[in-house]
Amino acid sequence: MQVFADIVKMQSHISSLKSEGKKIGFAPTMGALHLGHISLIQQIQDRNMVSVCSIFVNPTQFNQQSDLDKYPRVLREDLTLLEQHDCDIVFIPTVDAVYPQDLDTRVEIDREGLDMTMEGHFRPGHFDGMLQVVNRLINIVLPEAIFMGQKDYQQFALVQHMGHKLHPGLDVVMCPIIREGSGLAMSSRNRRLTEEWRERAPMLSQTLKEAKSRIEIDPVQEIQDRAFAKMRSAGFKPEYFEIADGVTLKTVEDAADHEIIVACLAAWAGEIRLIDNMILKDSTL
Ligand code: AMP
């Protein structure tokens, strides 16, 4: 495993691998790695590509300074985990290298409303920063494919959209959500859950499962209301529980009108904001 902080050194290493005919698979992360992140590396390896993992806590995607300050940073542990899982290249740039003063890195594309709902509504500016960093990292790493988790469904939809607009030919691969045995979706933020919330948190995935079992039976609004009430009565502070079209992310009114339907939620478990989602229906399979 080779670790680079320097962009030019990494690029010259990557271009020599490319000249040998190797293909690059890229997994951008913010560190505090867990098996969800590692699953992205494994998907890259399964495709016989060179795995590049970036670890960069991106300041432009945090809409609250306190959230950025509290974001877990455990580089040594991260490198050990990546080494154990045979990651090929780790990229750990500085903020100044990602955002040099003389480079305009903002992404100006029509997002077709994908960024207006759910996370976009509750975390204003978050997706501007996310697209900015992912686009910048793609331009540095120049991968053939980028691997992103379904865990951040709306993020994936936006990156896929940006891929079509700005990086034709780039394969944007969605990797399934990795969950703990309890059903809790793995997340770097889970490290900060208290013991009590850790016990209660699996309820979120149960709520999603229940929604899945009722999607073609009950009215959508009823399913959403029930899920919201259930989260509240367990002590969570839910921000949204949205049943949306899996492609446009527009609100679903009648499940019969949509091929792919996803339920996405965000809820505060005490001080920690958790998100999760589940595909409720996919008639393309
Ligand atoms: P993050 O470090 O939280 O920015 O996540 C980096 C990448 O890992 C994103 O593409 C996430 O969607 C993905 N990811 C995070 N948690 C999981 C999980 N539990 N299962 C699968 N992918 C995940």
Q: Which single residue is written with the structure tokens 């890195």? A: 105
Q: Place 13 in a pLDDT band, splitting at 50, 70 and 90.
A: very high
Write out pLDDT tens, residues 70-96: 999 999 999 999 999 999 999 999 999
Average pLDDT over residues 105-120: 97
pTM over 0.85: yes
Whole-number pLDDT of residue 212 = 98
Tell me how far apart the alpha carbons of residues 173 and 179 are, in angstroms, rounded to a whole number: 19
C-alpha pair distances (Å), 23 with each of 7, 29, 133, 199: 18, 20, 22, 42
Both tokens of residue 66?
Answer: 């306190």
Predicted pLDDT at 249: 98
Query: In angstroms, what is the span from residue 37 Cα to ligand 1's centroid?
Result: 5
- Range 191-209 average pLDDT: 96
The domains found in the chain, sorted by start residue, are: 2-175 (3.40.50.620), 188-276 (3.30.1300.10)
Beta-bridged to residue 26, according to DSSP, are: 52, 146
Beta pairing class for 145-149 and 272-282: unpaired
Kindly give the distance from the C-alpha atom of residue 72 to the centroid of ligand 1, in angstroms, as a whole number: 14
Catalytic residue among 13, 34, 37, 167: 37
Count of other CB atoms within 10 angstroms of residue 68: 14
Is residue 126 within 6 Å of ligand 1 at its C-beta?
no
Tokens of 202: 């699996």
pLDDT averaged over every residue in the chain: 97
Q: Is the CB of 177 under 6 A from ligand 1?
A: yes
Residue 15 has pLDDT above 90, yes or no: yes
Phi, then psi, of 272 in degrees rounded to 5: -110, 130
**237: which strand partners?**
268
**34 with 77: CB under 8 angstroms?**
no
Residue 63: the pLDDT is 86
Question: pLDDT exceeding 70 applies to what percent of the chain?
Answer: 100
Going by pLDDT thresholds of 50, 70 and 90, the confidence category of residue 253 is: very high
Distance 47 CA to ligand 1 centre (A): 19
Q: Would you call 37 a catalytic residue per the annotation?
A: yes
Predicted pLDDT at 232 = 98
Q: Helix or strand or coil: residue 60? A: helix
- Is residue 135 within 8 Å of residue 107, measured between CB atoms? yes
Residues in the chain: 285
Any atom of ligand 1 within 6 Å of the Cβ of 54: no
**Confidence category of residue 246, pLDDT binned at 50, 70, 90:** very high
Confidence category of residue 272, pLDDT binned at 50, 70, 90? very high
Write the CB contacts of 168 (distance below 8 Å, at least 6 apart in sequence). Answer: none
Does ligand 1 have an atom closer than 6 angstroms to the CB of 152? yes
Distance of CA 228 to the CA centre of its chain: 23
Tens digit of pLDDT for each residue in 219-245?
999 999 999 999 999 999 999 999 999
8-17, 62-71, 80-89: the lowest-pLDDT one: 62-71
